[in-house]
Amino acid sequence: QAQQQQQQQQQQPPQPPQSEPVTLAVLVPGDSIARVIGKAGAGLKQIRESTGSKIVVQEASANPNGTTRRVDLIGPAANNVGAAVGRVLQQAAAGQGLQTLEVQVLVPNKATGQVIGKGGERLKLVRESTGVRLQVEREAVSNQASGEEERMLTASGEPLAIGTALSIALGGGRPALAF
């Protein structure tokens, strides 16, 4: 029996350790959400396939003000989610002639230290390497759906550069986009 168990273990390849998925939420202006979703969801499908990230768009009724829609992006790594954020912002800004955006992103509270870095070194690295300015709010807010504590982060820059900045801030490198 012990020999049989040993043979079974040898037949199965070793599994890489599963890291926790990376989750971010982007607040997209209500008047831009249709461009992100695309016709029959084609925009979301394209982002999902090119970045490997799961995308969940909050129902309009979940935000009674209607000024923004929350778009949750869940991916296996910071690079995937960073690329997805860049693509969402690129589509949201399409046709508006905007070179730079200022956007609110919700980051899990537990990831805030990593985003800021010791003495703000990560924020400085992001600003110098991407030209994107990240500002993290001091107070955490609670995600109404999950109850998880999140921090509001304001990012200013070009849409794809914001995605790259978030990828770097979360400990990844520059995302590789598949178009």
Per residue in 114-156, pLDDT (tens digit) is 999 999 999 999 999 999 999 999 999 998 888 899 999 999 9
Print the SS3 string covering the chain.
CHHHHHHHHHHCCCCCCCCCCEEEEEEEECCCHHHHHCHHHHHHHHHHHHHCCEEEECCHHHCCCCCEEEEEEEECCHHHHHHHHHHHHHHHHCCCCCCCEEEEEEEEHHHHHHHHCHHHHHHHHHHHHHCCEEEEEEEEEECCCCCCEEEEEEEEECHHHHHHHHHHHCCCCCCCCCC
pTM beyond 0.85: the answer is no
